Amino acid sequence: MAALPDLALLSRVTGPADVRRMRPDELPALAREIRDFLIDRVAASGGHLGSNLGLVEVSIALHRVFRSPTDTLLFDTGHQAYVHKLLTGRAERFDRLRQADGLSGYPSRAESEHDVIENSHASTAVAYADGLAKALELRGDTDRRVVAVLGDGALTGGLAYESLNNLGGAPERPVIVVLNDNGRSYGPTIGGIADHLSELRTISSAEDGNFFTHLGLAYVGPVDGHDEPAVERALRQARDLGGPVVVHCVTRKGYGYAHAENDELENFHAVGVIDVATGNPYREVDETWTDVFAQELCHLGQSRPDLVAITAAMGGPTGLLQFATKFPERYFDTGIAEQHAMASAAGLVLAGAHPVVAIYSTFLNRALDQLLMDVAMHRSPVTVVLDRAGITGPDGASHHGIWDLALLGMVPGLRVAAPRDPQRLRDLLAEAIGVGDGPTVLRFPKAVAGADIAAVDTVHGMDVLAVPGDLPADVLLVGVGVLAGECLRAAELLAAHGIGATVVDPRWVLPVNPALPGLAARHALVVAVEDGTRVGGVGAGIAQACADADVTTPVRNLGLPRSFIEHGSRADLLAAAGLTPQGITDLVLRLHRRPTQ
């Protein structure tokens, strides 16, 4: 804490008991110190700033009214737990926020007994709370409270309503749902519930009831979420009611930092390294894959009036806001509701539209049933664009997009494309939108887009990027998406060892191109290189295709392990998995020199 020497109160906090011991008149100063600390540390490392600045007083009140970890605090979404981490004694670890071996940007059971769940996917905490309360009841433990803190649009997710519905039918179950109502997720919260919450902010809870009370839950609020004593009173009232209750706290995202409070472009939901004084990033950001996609979708939208764009509360991060500006009537935000987004896309197809559903790869998991049964089974031409595919880096295990290829490979009639460079993204997006007899998926990482990589030949729709030349055709390197460039550099390293490598970019990676087994048969070894899990991914598909074609060339897939990968830099995590030119080279050298070869 050397950079902020005036943190007299925060420096005394080693755990929640210290917060409970503070005098009420000390708490406003504690809140100011926490905000100063968060702005300083998050500006230096990057992270989720706006939501945490808005939850300072609510977090203080939670730890004064409830006794964590005896009472359980569950945060949904998990990125709003920074203040909770500070109040549970982790201030010293913020210097390595979201860095390898440093503090996670989400709750982490490995860090503290005060973190109970780690899943940062939205809308889950009420379900956890319901189950935990049931288990406590079964074992006769009546002295513990379970609190689910919902915020940043989590109430727009369908699972939250399923859970509230169950809680409403159990009037004896003492679960407290704290609704951090800041009116936003990434952007403004949308839909009927947003309108209803807006109404509740202006009326007394003593009036004729509301959505929550009609479900069977008690309702306390609305309360000013920046008035700590008022929040404490509301929480104590909820605690003493003894059944399921919603405490409605109205907060302002980014509260206490003018640049974040006045942010209308979603820039301060999550930030990179910024200048505290101006709120601006320290360096210009190079063109990303998301930027390229955003530009090309707008270009295609000009000639395709049937093209519509759908986001699940991620319009800015997935690049759809440019499309929304140009074609507002053809842009739909469903809130944090990927299931509805996908099924709604299937409905749009029925009237002749071609939907583009842009979501993070990790959030595709929530819409898999709809993609399978509502889109693919009907052979609906929906294009799904997966941003943040592969390793994302500092957001960690819940946000790496490493499962999509394994999941998508089992969906009948679906085609998956993975561009290696910006031009291929443009080409493949146009091709995907041109498909009229089934769903398509386009995936790319959270990274700088880089330079284009020219092909030396094209074979049956696959781009050949390098050939062995005068060397024998020892190995076929199949590069999936952005890793085609790593394969190309590996081929140069292998040539120095006298090993000839052909590098091919399939462009459309699933299902496996039927010409690929024939190409594999002309080599002594095939290595598929992908930034998804090795289990069930593209490499596994190539091996199966070769086996089905009676091609005996051994196939090795170099990808990510079947595990939850922690946070760290994208480059370091890829290197740890061997997904670098040297890692690919080392694998080939090890396999090629075996006696069986």
Give the integer Cα–Cα distance in Å for 320 and 295: 9
Q: Is the dihedral of CA 526, 529, 534, 535 positive or negative?
A: negative
Q: What is the token pair recorded at 8? A: 């007299």
* Residue 270 to residues 254, 260, 279, 289, Cα–Cα distance (Å): 11, 10, 12, 18
Give the integer Cα–Cα distance in Å for 584 and 597: 18
Binding site for thiamine diphosphate, by residue number, is: 79, 120-122, 153-154, 182, 257, 338
Residue 594 contacts by C-beta under 8 Å, 6 or more apart in sequence? Answer: none
DSSP code for 189: -
Contact between 518 and 552 under an 8 Å Cβ cutoff? The reply is no
DSSP code for 184: B
Helix ranges (H only) for 46-176 are: 50-54, 56-65, 82-87, 125-138, 158-168
Helix ranges (H only) for 46-112 are: 50-54, 56-65, 82-87
Give the integer Cα–Cα distance in Å for 365 and 401: 10
284 as an active site residue: the answer is no
184 as an active site residue: the answer is no
Binding site for Mg(2+), by residue number, is: 152, 182
Considering the candidates 338, 431, 486, 530, report the single residue annotated as catalytic. Answer: 338
366 as an active site residue: the answer is yes
Strands 462-466 and 457-459: antiparallel
Task: Provide the CA 378 distance to its chain's centre, in angstroms.
Answer: 28
Give the integer Cα–Cα distance in Å for 536 and 540: 5
Considering the candidates 253, 388, 420, 426, report the single residue annotated as catalytic. Answer: 253
Binding site, by residue number, is: 79, 120-122, 152-154, 182, 257, 338
Considering the candidates 366, 446, 534, 556, report the single residue annotated as catalytic. Answer: 366
Query: Mutual orientation of helices 289-303 and 422-434 as an angle, nearest 10°?
Result: 40
Q: What residues act catalytically?
A: 253, 338, 366
